[in-house]
Structure formats: structure tokens, C-alpha cells
Amino acid sequence: MTDPNIPNTPSVHPAQLAAQLIWSQWQSGQVLSALPDACRPLTVEQGHAAQAQLPAVSGRTVVGWKIAATSANGQAHIRVSGPLAGRLLSGQVFDSGATVPSAGNRMRVAEPEFAFVAGQDLPPQTAPYTQEQVMAAVASLHPAMEVPDSRLEPFTAAGEAQLLADNACARHFVLGPAAPDLWRSVDLSAHTVQARVARQQASSYNREGIGANVLGDPRMALTWLVNELSRLGITLEKGQVVTTGTCMVPLELEPGDAVSADFGPLGSVAMHFAP
């Protein structure tokens, strides 16, 4: 029996079919328990291949990258062995203070993050990039906030390959203003972040995070991402942003919430979760 969710194009590569189906689910706001057998990625390589088709399938451009599961708790939550890279696509990135869509979002969390903008291309190379090489290529640091989501339900049982195909749960992203240059002399691993969720109909709350929650240091997470892209034959391009993963337990959201994260002398970022 033909699966109605899969286009009737048997000559299309399974990676492209997976991307088409994932993108159609994003457009409709629907979820899947799993991708169909005909296009379900079973390995990390197949998951990456499916994700790589998303820009062409969606008609969007890659404006940056995200890292999911940069803490042991995050990895345990989604049952993966390490961090996952995902693409930030055009049309999904907002400036600080924006209203971020809530419709169809089942995760309903915001994640305060340290984000970096590349000041030059970092192309694939044989030897791993050192942290010093990567940081020398960074143009700016930004307070940021990710609002992730997944088209797989339950996403915690989807497995690494399918989560990669689902773009490592990338959904919406809020980029704050560039931090003052003093950030280069700050120990980001020890840097604390204060977040607040303000609610109209229920109790507001605060939460604190620290840079060490991001693979030990946001700079280490950025270096991991650059080397992961290098391994995949991908250049981190000048001007692209990399958001390095949540520095605290994700902030639970309800539609209408106002969210802010104070990075102290490095600045702040804020958003509204649409009613």
C-alpha cells in the first residue's frame, strides 16, 4: 500500500524524500511518530544527508548553525551520545524584542545561548581546527535565544539519525545585539546568565545559567561545530551565526509570555511568545 505522506516519485533519493516530508510537516504544523520506512534515516550519515536537503526543499538559505544537546542532561533527555548540528534557515531568525510564533510549537521552551558570528570562512581541512584558530575567526559574540521544536513525537524517542533529519529540532531563533569587545577577555565558562519569564495569567519565574553548561565552555562548543562541519565537507561561512546550546534548563513557555535573558556586561536578549 502506498504511503500517502510520500510523494509518488520513486526515483527521488530517500534523503530528499525525508526532507520533503519533514518540511511539509513543518508547514502544516503536524507531527510524525517516525519517518516512513522508505526514507527513514538509520545512520548518522543518512540523517545528515536528509538535513542537507532541507535548504533546497524549503527554498530557504542557511544563515547559520545551531548545536543541540550540549550538556549531559540534554543528551540523556533525547537519548543521543553527543551534540547534534542543525541549520538555521532564513525566515526563522528574529531580532531581539520580536514576537516569535507559538502556533504549532509543542516543545514550548526558550533556551538562552551564547552565539558567535563568523568573521571569515572556515573551510574543511584535514587537521582539526584548534580553539585558538576558531576564535581568531570570530567577528562578534551575541546574547541569543533559541525556541526549538520537532516534527517527531515523541522527539525524545526519535533517535539521533531522525533528529538530524529533523534539523536537530531547529525552529525559531532570536539574535541579540553584539556584545562589547570585552567579551574576548571574559571566561565564558564561568559567565552567568539570568533569565526571566514574565506571565500575565500565572506566576512569573527566574532561572540562572552558566557558560560551563555548554560543552564546558561556549568556545569549546563553537570549535566542535566548526570541526563537525569540516568533517562533513562544509564551510562555516563568513557572516553565519552559530548558537552554541542552552546555558540553563530550558525555560518553559506559555503563549503570551515575555522572556528575557541578561548576560550582564555582554548585553541582553528578549522576545515575546505570541499569544
Which grid cell sits at 80? 543521543
The average pLDDT across 47-63 equals 97
Looking up residue 259, the CATH number of its domain turns out to be: 3.90.850.10
220, 210, 221, 217: which is closest to 84 by C-alpha? 221
> Residue 44: is its pLDDT beyond 70?
yes
- Reported as a single tens digit per residue, the pLDDT across 139-195 is 999 999 999 999 999 888 889 999 999 999 999 999 999 999 999 999 999 999 999
Confidence grade of residue 2 (pLDDT, cut at 50, 70, 90): very low
Flag whether 47 is in a domain: no
Which residues form the domain of 83?
Answer: 63-273
Q: If you write DSSP's letter for every residue of 83-102 in order, what string do you get?
A: -EEEEEETTSEEETTPEEP-
Confirm whether 7 is domain-assigned: no
CA distance 170 to 54: 12
pLDDT in tens, 127-144: 999 999 999 999 999 999
36 domain-assigned: no
Q: Is 21 inside any structural domain? A: no
pLDDT > 70? residue 8 = no
**Averaged pLDDT of the chain:** 94
**Within a domain: residue 255?**
yes
pLDDT tens, position by position, 84-100: 999 999 999 999 999 99
Overall average pLDDT of the 228-252 stretch: 97
Residue 201 lies in a domain: yes
220, 71 Cβ separation under 8 angstroms: no
Residue 14 within any structural domain of the chain: no
Instruction: Inform me whether the pLDDT recorded for 109 exceeds 70.
Output: yes
Q: Residue 258's Cα: distance from chain center in Å?
A: 20
pLDDT at 219: 98
What is the pLDDT averaged over residues 223-235? 98
Bridging pattern class, strands 62-68 and 241-246 = parallel
Task: Give 125-161 as a 3 state SS string.
Answer: CCCCCCHHHHHHCEEEEEEEEEECCCCECCHHHCCHH
- Decide if 27 is inside a domain: no
pLDDT above 70 as % of the chain: 96
Q: What is the tally of structural domains in the chain?
A: 1
pLDDT at 200: 83
Q: Supply the pTM of this predicted model.
A: 0.93
CA distances from residue 36 to 57, 227, 233 in whole angstroms, order as listed: 18, 31, 28
Backbone angles phi, psi at 44, to 5 degrees: -60, -40
